């Protein structure tokens, strides 16, 4: 069997070699063979990779990055390409009464203007399809797009945005996530409740745990909204060709998901859509879904020309996803010796105007909220709610850094109140090999205590209690 | 429209552009030199750093008209056909380039530093890179890369007089 394979490979190689030679023979003498770039190509020795750990590896694309030759979206351009800009609402909650684009369309160089009503299916999202490409008629946060323009230059597109007149009827806005949970709160996605996903983790008997505790500590922690600020802004180029095929070059980490979302919003079979994920200039979770791409595609369809859209740094902050601010209530029962006996947690995630990856973040934040500690009695409840703010979504850690801030802060508070060294209280409670997490997962390769001890040695931790 | 003539990477180039055109747009759109990147367009991130008459500048803050008649070096002007610039080599080897978007700017800021100071200490390096923001790799590896490049460049300049003598004697 093995011998047969070898024979087959050899034959294929020979065939390839024959073809290559015939190709060389066919070349006209006038054609100078292209010289290879004489800089030594960056190749990795396969044998060096067998023991990857501890090896110094260089990035395979580092060469091009350093030469400035990497092609990010904004480095690409196509003949006849137009520049798109999106007009942002600038109001947190409103109903659009009227959009007048006639003055914008009259500007020489403006090739097309698009509003929400022209989008075949004006909703998308990786979890719930609750986000419009362009708001129509309800604006749910200030960064919502209300109209898009394609023009021959960026300056003309900007000028056109200023000429678009939008009349709004302001609606009551919800900005505080806790207030948004009340029944009588204005609804961001009326008539639905503002609470759009929940998760509960229970382990043991929380009441018994608190009853057995010597001390009970209660505190509220909160974190702020954080933007990814990848150095490369969100950018895409759409080309809807005369054959009805759509090609999108985009800074998207999840091109398959993007393709499904595009097919849905444009009512176009997926087979007609090709998405090319270029090298991404920083993602950090902020480029895991489509944003302006359907609008660019429709502008390209209207004009018959490729259309490029690059967000400004301002849009990056107002119109792309951010990290969830979380209000975290911790109630922890401990013995006088510092052993945690019960922990009750309530998380309220500010989900912003649209879901994006909130449900995923909610789950991870909830599961990890008790911390890496052996606690027999746990109740963790988490809610993610709509508010009229910039939508929150995926960002490095999916909710884990926020809850880590809360449980570690409380560990310090408990240690201080009980007069125990902060390192000791963690060593007393931390997971061991075979410990089970609040969801019942049995953990292996647990080195948290070893890591803590080594870290303490390294930075010269001395007990302060 | 205004006419601009500049020397870019040793080559004289001309363009006629609207007066509001920045040096960055001039390089990227008129001269197809896309190595300098647009990150923030307000001079905060340093991804657009190029060297104008020996000074590292944010090309997004400089108008094309201001550069008329001046000498500009961009990332495309560092490597030759047969050799990476030692700064590029060091950035690559130490892993200072991750997504790479800030790389050209940081490398040009380093080049401007070396043009003034061939033996910078860590504080000098931090100062020189203070205008270049990075969100992936962080700055530790960049500082390592700059130190490594400085070592290489110093040892090269020590050997260069020797090389010239050899060339003279060669038949």
How many residues does this entry show for chain A? 465
Whether B37 has its CB under 8 Å from any CB of chain A: the answer is: yes
Q: What is the pLDDT of residue A299?
A: 98
Q: Which two tokens stand for residue A79?
A: 């003949």
Query: Which chain B residues are closer than 8 Å to A39 by Cβ?
Result: 79, 81-84
Could A155 and B18 be called an inter-chain contact, meaning their C-beta atoms sit closer than 8 Å?
yes
Tokens (6 digits) for A394? 């995926």
Q: Looking at the domain assignment, is residue A19 inside a domain?
A: no
Chain A interface disruption, residue of B61, B101, B141, most A CBs within 10 A: B101
Residue A366: predicted pLDDT: 97
Residue A455 included in any domain: no
Q: Label the pairing between strands B49-52 and B71-73.
A: antiparallel
Q: Express each pLDDT in B77-121 by its tens digit.
A: 999 888 899 999 999 999 999 999 999 999 999 999 999 999 999
CB-nearest partner of A67 from B36, B42, B88? B88
Residues in chain A within 8 Å Cβ distance of B89: 66
Q: Whole-model pTM?
A: 0.88
Please state which of the ranges A30-34, B58-62, B109-113, B161-165 shows the lowest mean pLDDT: A30-34
Q: Which of A98, A185, A89 is nearest to A390 (CA)?
A: A89
Name the stretches of chain A with pLDDT < 50: 1-2, 7-8, 10-11, 27-33, 465
Question: Which residues span the domain enclosing A414?
Answer: 178-226+321-420
> Does residue A5 lie within any of the structural domains?
no
Residue with tokens 């020397």: B7
| CA–CA distance, A68 with A82 (Å, rounded to integer) | 24
Q: How many other β-carbons are positioned within 10 Å of the β-carbon of residue A13? A: 10
Q: Which two tokens stand for residue A191?
A: 């008539």
Report chain B's mean pLDDT, rounded to a whole number.
92
Where are chain B's structural domains? Answer: 2-77, 86-166
The reported pLDDT for the residue numbered B167 is 45
Average pLDDT over residues B24-35: 96
| B86 part of contact set with chain A, CB < 8 Å | no
Separation of alpha carbons A364 and A26, rounded Å? 60
* pLDDT at residue number A58: 79
pLDDT at A59: 84
The answer to whether the beta carbons of residues A322 and A225 sit under 8 Å apart is: yes
pLDDT score of A461: 87
To test the contact with chain A by mutation, choose from B59, B100, B101, B137 the residue with the greatest count of A C-beta atoms within 10 A, namely B100
* CB distance A396 to A284 below 8 Å: yes
Shortest CA gap A122–chain B (Å)? 30
The answer to whether residue A430 is domain-embedded is no
Other beta carbons less than 10 A from residue A434's beta carbon: 9
Q: In angstroms, what CA-CA distances link A88 with A95, A168, B9? A: 14, 13, 40
Using 50, 70 and 90 to split pLDDT, how confident is the model at B171?
very low
What average pLDDT score do residues B1-22 get? 95
Of A355, A357, A377, A379, the closest CA to residue A367 belongs to A379
Residue B166 pLDDT class (50, 70, 90 cuts): very low
Strands (E), A265-318: 273-277, 307-310
Planar angle of CA A258, A261, A266, nearest 5 degrees: 120
Fold type of domain B2-77: Ubiquitin-like (UB roll) (3.10.20)
Tell me whether residue A78 is in a domain. no
What CATH homologous superfamily does B86-166 map to?
[2Fe-2S]-binding domain (1.10.150.120)
What is residue A33's predicted lDDT score, i.e. its pLDDT? 46
- CATH topology identical between B2-77 and B86-166: no
Tokens of A171: 């609606």
Say if A276 falls within a structural domain.
no
Q: Does A396 touch chain B (CB under 8 A)?
A: no
Residue B8: predicted pLDDT = 96
> If pLDDT is split at 50, 70 and 90, which confidence band does B157 have?
confident
d(C-alpha A457, C-alpha B11), whole Å: 57
> How far apart, in whole angstroms, are the C-alpha atoms of residue A101 and residue B96?
47
Q: What is the number of domains present in chain A? A: 1
CATH code of residue A406 = 3.30.365.10
């Amino acid at each position: 069997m093995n011998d047969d394979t070898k024979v087959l490979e050899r034959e294929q190689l020979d065939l390839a070699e024959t073809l290559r030679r015939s190709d060389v023979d066919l070349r006209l003498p006038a054609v100078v063979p292209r010289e290879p770039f004489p800089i030594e190509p960056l190749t990795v020795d396969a044998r060096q990779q067998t023991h990857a750990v501890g090896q110094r590896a260089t990035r395979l694309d580092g060469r091009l990055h350093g030469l400035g030759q990497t092609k990010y979206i904004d480095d690409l351009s196509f003949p006849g390409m137009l520049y798109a800009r999106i007009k942002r609402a600038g109001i947190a909650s409103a109903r659009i009464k009227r959009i007048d684009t006639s003055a914008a369309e009259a500007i020489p160089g403006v090739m097309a203007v698009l509003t929400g009503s022209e989008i075949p299916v004006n909703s998308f999202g990786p979890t719930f399809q609750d986000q419009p490409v362009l708001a129509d008629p309800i604006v749910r946060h200030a960064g919502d797009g209300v109209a898009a323009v394609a023009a021959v230059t960026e300056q003309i597109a900007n000028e056109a945005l200023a000429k678009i007149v939008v009349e709004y009827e302001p609606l009551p806005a919800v900005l505080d996530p806790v207030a948004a949970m009340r029944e009588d709160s204005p609804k961001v996605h009326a008539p639905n409740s503002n609470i759009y996903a929940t998760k509960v983790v229970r382990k043991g008997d929380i009441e018994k745990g608190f009853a057995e505790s010597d001390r009970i500590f209660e505190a509220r922690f909160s974190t702020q909204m954080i933007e990814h600020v990848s150095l490369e802004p969100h950018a895409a180029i759409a080309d809807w060709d005369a054959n009805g095929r759509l090609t999108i070059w985009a800074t998207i980490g999840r091109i398959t998901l993007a393709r499904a979302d595009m097919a849905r919003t444009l009512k176009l079979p997926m087979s007609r859509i090709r998405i090319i994920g270029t090298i991404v200039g920083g993602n950090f979770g902020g480029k895991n879904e489509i944003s302006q791409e359907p609008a660019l595609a429709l502008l390209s369809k209207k004009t018959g020309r490729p259309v490029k859209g690059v967000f400004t740094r301002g849009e990056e902050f107002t119109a792309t996803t951010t990290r969830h601010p979380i209000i975290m209530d911790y109630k922890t029962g401990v013995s006088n010796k510092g052993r945690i006996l019960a922990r009750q947690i309530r998380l309220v995630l500010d989900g912003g105007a649209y879901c994006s990856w909130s449900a995923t973040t909610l789950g991870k934040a909830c599961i990890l909220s008790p911390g890496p500690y052996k606690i027999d009695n746990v109740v963790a409840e988490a809610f993610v709610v709509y508010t009229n703010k910039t939508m929150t979504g995926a960002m490095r850690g999916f909710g884990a850094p926020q809850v880590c801030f809360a449980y570690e802060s409380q560990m310090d508070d408990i240690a201080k109140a009980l007069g125990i060294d902060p390192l000791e209280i963690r060593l007393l409670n931390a997971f061991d090999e075979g410990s089970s997490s609040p969801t019942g997962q049995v953990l292996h390769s647990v080195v948290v205590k070893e890591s803590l001890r080594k870290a303490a040695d390294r930075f010269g931790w001395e007990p302060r209690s | 429209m205004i006419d601009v003539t500049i020397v870019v990477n040793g080559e004289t180039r001309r363009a006629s552009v609207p007066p509001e055109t920045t040096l960055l747009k001039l390089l990227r759109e008129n001269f197809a030199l896309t190595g300098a990147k647009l990150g923030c367009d307000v001079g905060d991130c340093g991804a657009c750093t190029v060297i104008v008459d020996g000074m590292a500048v944010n090309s997004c803050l400089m108008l094309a008209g201001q550069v008329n008649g001046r000498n500009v070096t961009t990332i495309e002007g560092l490597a030759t056909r047969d050799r990476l610039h030692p700064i590029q080599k060091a950035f690559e080897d130490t892993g200072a380039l991750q997504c790479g978007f800030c790389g050209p700017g940081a490398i040009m800021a380093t080049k401007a530093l070396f043009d003034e100071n061939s033996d910078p200490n860590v504080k000098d390096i931090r100062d020189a890179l203070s205008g270049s923001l990075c969100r992936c790799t962080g700055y530790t590896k960049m500082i390592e890369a700059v130190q490594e490049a400085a070592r290489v460049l110093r040892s090269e300049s020590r050997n260069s007089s020797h090389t010239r003598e050899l060339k003279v004697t060669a038949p």
